[in-house]
Amino acid sequence: MERRSFISRTGLAGLSLGLPHWAFSAQKDEYSVEELMGKANIELVGKDINLRPEAHEAFVRMKRAAYQDGIDIKVVSSYRGYDRQRTIFEQKYIQYTDDGMEPLEAIDKIIEYSTIPGTSRHHWGTDADLIDGSKPAEGDVLDPAKFTEGQPFYDFKQWMDAHSQEYGFYLVYTDHPRRRGFKYEPWHYSYAPLSRPMLKDFRMLNLVRLLEKEDFLGAEHLTAGFLRSYITDNILDINPGLL
């Protein structure tokens, strides 16, 4: 399948995130575009943890506290660079279109849980998918059903609900009934002291102008209207504690 440009150059270059700039107009960007889009070489620490140093330090403190209560917090996935996110997106796009889905239908399916390359919070070194490593679980461990009562990660979820924010970690995609965008992910936590300012810088980007230069499967089907909804629903409709 041939890759094509993300967006045709017909009037979309000026489309930004559509958010007011007044709150950040006096703020010098702390994080580069390359960092925010997963293209920079950033410092990551911790064997099988891979978080920025400050987030890693807080994670280790949280992990030690949880262990005292019988919970063995394990990182399933943390930092993912742009190329890795592109691979995930393209593999799913090929799978779904080969199964007979139309391109836009396939993209809608992808963004139930996966992001467009360059827009993942996992690019930042602040976010991680977490489970209880001491509890055996068959199949996909990142399944919301496994975090419900009577299932392997229920105790983990209860502990995190009670204590994770003490260490700066917030659930990103909650089960609030009015939340839109990505589906509920009881495993995805973000280290707020770093990810909040990173999101502020990310909101300042002209995301369309940046992404129109990229090239990945399915990108030619993404319209301005789609992007507006994606930004509002998937990027910004998250746990209010992370805004």
Residue 159: pLDDT over 70: yes
- Give mean pLDDT, residues 155-159: 98
In 119-232 the beta strands, taken as DSSP E runs, fall at 127-132, 169-171, 188-191
Q: Which of 175, 179, 171 is nearest to 233 (CA)?
A: 179
Residue 227: pLDDT over 90: no
* Number of helices followed by number of strands (H, E) in the chain: 8, 4
Express as a percent the part of the chain with pLDDT over 70: 88
Instruction: Write the burial class of residue 162 (CB in 10 Å: 0-12 exposed, 13-18 middle, 19+ buried).
Output: exposed
Asked if 29 and 201 count as a contact pair (C-beta separation under 8 A), the reply is yes
Q: What is the pLDDT at residue 213?
A: 80
Note the Cα 238 to chain centre separation in Å: 10
CB atoms within 10 A of CB 201: 19
What gap in Å lies between CA 212 and CA 208, rounded to an integer? 6
What band does 208 get if pLDDT is binned at 50, 70 and 90?
confident
Domains and CATH numbers, the chain: 22-205 (3.30.1380.10)
pLDDT digits (tens, 9 = 90+) for 32-81: 999 999 999 999 999 999 999 999 999 999 999 999 999 999 999 999 99
